[in-house]
Amino acid sequence: MVYDIIIIGAGPAGMTAAIYARRAAKSVLVLEALNYGGQILNTPDIENYPARAHISGYDFSTTLYEQAKELGAQFIFEKAVGIKDGNGKKTVVTAKNSYEAKAVILATGSANRKLGIIDEEKLLGKGVSYCATCDGNFYRQKVVAVVGGGNTAIEDALYLSNLAKKVYLIHRRDSFRGEETGVNRLIAKDNVEFIFNSNVTRLIYDKRLSAIEVTNKIDGSVKTLEINGLFVAVGRVPENQNFAELIKLNDAGYVQAGEDCHTSCAGIFAAGDNRTKALRQLVTAAADGAMAATEAVKYINNNCARPKNRKED
């Protein structure tokens, strides 16, 4: 079967694209490596989506998934590892299968950025985590630290402050990049302590994490914090490398695509956090999904309407 559109990634951008494509009566396959929802799935409370003052990331993602399925989008949970372009079709390759389509939308999102210090991956699940809402419950009345300065780090610190006895929020700069509303909520918390201009430089452990060393960037001083858990929220890395041979990426690995979501390869579009853009938020991911699907539908309709070349009699 040749699908009209294959969407790689079932986050908000990908699932919104599926909804718009199905409403345009196009056949849609959504390929997802893990679970639907993407990064927003683990957000405990979404407060900045228009017309929804409060909704959990799980409820938002599930509603979006059910809406796309109800409209007839097909979901297969396999990781796409490459795309081939030829003979007027795109072939999306996974570890198990290959699928053909007239157009492809890349909505691969991004993965957790690591701190890059010794034994970080070794301690994953043993005191190191990248998801406060997933693992925070294990640290009730314990001491934890969050590393980062964006919205995710602030949200994680707020969430953990309601569970843990003490929360350190460590940031390499002297001010936060996240929304001021969240920062003000943290300031009002008695069990949250800010550590600015500092990096986590060493993990101390026996079988589990027991402490971290934090180095001040200004004066070089080092202090040891005894903690039970370290939550890393230092940003995301776009997951585009599997497609780098076919489409242009910038130096940071993001797909070079404008607001129309067109990539350097005709018939391939990019939507959401994996493309170059000024603002990466839930609402812009949804907007990208709508735009990418609309442009993909135009691409398919124009190609189908174009008369085929024929030899002169």
Catalytic residues: 131, 134-135
Judge whether 83 and 101 are in contact, CB under 8 Å: no
DSSP H or E run through 183 = helix 180-187
Judge whether 32 and 128 are in contact, CB under 8 Å: no
Task: Give the closest residue to 299 by CA, choosing from 21, 9, 10.
Answer: 21
Task: Report the C-alpha gap between 51 and 155 in whole angstroms.
Answer: 21
Amino acid type, 149 = G
* Assigned token pair, 35: 């679970």
Which value, in Å, is the radius of gyration of the alpha carbons in the chain?
Answer: 22
Judge whether 127 and 230 are in contact, CB under 8 Å: yes
Task: Report the C-alpha gap between 148 and 236 in whole angstroms.
Answer: 11
Tell me how crowded residue 51 is: count the other CB atoms within 10 A of its CB: 4
Which residue spans within 150-255 are E strands per DSSP?
A: 166-170, 192-195, 198-205, 209-216, 222-226, 229-232, 236-238
Task: Give the closest residue to 38 by CA, choosing from 281, 305, 312, 292.
Answer: 281
* Assigned token pair, 113: 């950025």
Task: Report the C-alpha gap between 143 and 295 in whole angstroms.
Answer: 49
